[in-house]
């Protein structure tokens, strides 16, 4: 009797474990990865159609979302994602934002340039190229000390490393002109020399945070801020020839940051708003998590990061991200616009969080679609 009962319990437990494993495995089937990406993207397109585009169409928030929509368009048969980007570009006459030297206002150059590489329509990059030429010609000798107006002249905050060098890198690839990538790398290291903590392997958000501490006494290292950096880093590497003189230095930075970020993943699979004081913000956050997942998967796909070490990390984080997608497709737990760790909940969402989710999903789809095990 006891033996029979024990066998029944074991059989039930085994069945439960098998079911849970099959559910976990199904998350990573390419068609399921793409399906939930499309669900999130479709919610965003409907939101724009119903309530309009919040902020200007050139705004960095929207531009970050466009990067994800563009990535999704490369693996989806649904033309609405690319058509939306083409429409927005035409609506804007392919102009960037009004503040030509502000990194946020030429983040959209990433999408313009990627569309140009497909359609070869010069008008898509003409305005951005003029600004990029002016950026190349500037001396860039000003201190990055956080002061009024500095953001209009220099990359003085870590978010800028997703917005600006990436756009210049894609333009360099599209035009086969190294000068754009060269200025991007030069200014990348200028920002890094000022904001990167080589012991923590993390970036402060800007100069005003260099000496700020969290409640537990640790330095303030913001999740999404470092997500911007790591995602920006791989997008620069995507446009950096293997023989480029700075490539090894970028790879070293990428590996060091990736190892640190992986070590800070929380039990729930995400990275909380404060990387070194997660207990002060004890809830999942999806924008930083999305960018980290994207960047780590990129490294796996390009055989720069060890698959055995990092695949379990991104599997865990993708599962957590999908659990934050509501039934209507809205991605929740996205920290609102800010410059430091802050609170979130299931109903906080933002377009840049969608962009990060779609970038991550595209890399995950590529990994499993090519048959890797």
Gap between the Cα atoms of 69 and 64, Å rounded: 9
Gap between the Cα atoms of 294 and 68, Å rounded: 10
DSSP state, residue 109: H
Phi first, then psi: what are they for 196, rounded to 5°?
-85, 130
Gap between the Cα atoms of 202 and 227, Å rounded: 10
Residue 358: in which H helix or E strand, if any?
helix 351-369
Residue among 125, 244, 109, 241 nearest 175 (CA):
125
Gap between the Cα atoms of 296 and 341, Å rounded: 22
What is the three-class DSSP state of 79? coil
Strand ranges, E, within the chain: 196-197, 202-203
Q: Which of 25, 133, 152, 159 is catalytic?
A: 159
Residue among 299, 305, 322 nearest 38 (CA):
322
Residues 6 or more apart from 344 whose CB is under 8 A from it? 273, 281, 283, 284, 285, 286, 333, 334, 335, 336
Q: By the 8 A CB rule, do 300 and 292 touch?
A: no
The radius of gyration of the chain's CA atoms, rounded to the nearest angstrom, is 21
Count Cβ atoms below 10 Å from residue 341 Cβ, excluding itself: 26
Q: Does the annotation mark 246 as catalytic?
A: no
- Positions annotated as catalytic residues are 159
């Amino acid at each position: 009797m006891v033996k029979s009962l024990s066998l029944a319990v074991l059989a039930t437990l085994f069945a439960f474990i098998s079911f849970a494993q099959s559910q976990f495995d199904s998350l990573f089937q390419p068609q399921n990865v793409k399906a939930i990406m499309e669900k999130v993207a479709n919610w965003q397109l409907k939101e724009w159609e119903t309530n309009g585009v919040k902020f200007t169409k050139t705004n960095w928030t929207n531009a970050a979302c466009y990067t994800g929509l563009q990535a999704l368009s490369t693996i989806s048969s649904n033309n609405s994602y690319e058509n939306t980007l083409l429409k927005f570009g035409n609506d804007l006459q392919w102009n960037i934002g009004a503040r030509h030297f502000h990194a946020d206002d030429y983040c959209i150059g990433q999408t313009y340039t990627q569309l140009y590489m497909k359609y070869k329509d010069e008008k898509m990059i003409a305005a951005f190229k003029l600004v990029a030429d002016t950026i190349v010609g500037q001396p860039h000798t000003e201190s990055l000390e956080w002061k009024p107006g500095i953001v209009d002249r220099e990359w003085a905050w870590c978010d800028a490393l997703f917005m600006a060098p990436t756009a210049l890198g894609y333009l360099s690839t599209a035009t086969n002109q190294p000068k754009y990538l060269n200025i991007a790398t030069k200014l990348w290291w200028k920002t890094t020399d000022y904001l990167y903590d080589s012991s923590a392997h993390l970036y402060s958000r800007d100069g005003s945070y260099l000496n700020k501490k969290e409640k537990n006494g640790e330095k303030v290292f913001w999740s999404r801020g470092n997500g911007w950096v790591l995602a920006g880093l791989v997008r620069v590497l995507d446009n950096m020839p293997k023989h480029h003189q700075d490539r090894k230095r970028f790879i070293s930075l990428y590996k060091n940051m990736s190892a640190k970020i992986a070590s800070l993943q929380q039990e729930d699979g995400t990275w909380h708003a404060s990387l070194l004081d997660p207990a002060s913000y004890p809830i999942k956050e999806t924008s930083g998590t999305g960018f980290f997942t994207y960047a780590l998967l990129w490294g796996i796909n390009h055989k720069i990061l060890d698959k055995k070490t990092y695949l379990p990390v991104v599997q865990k984080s993708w599962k957590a991200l999908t659990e934050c997608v509501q039934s209507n497709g809205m991605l929740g737990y996205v920290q609102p616009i800010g410059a430091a760790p802050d609170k979130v909940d299931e109903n906080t969402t933002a377009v840049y969080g969608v962009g990060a989710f779609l970038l991550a999903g595209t890399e995950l789809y590529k990994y499993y679609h090519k048959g890797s095990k």
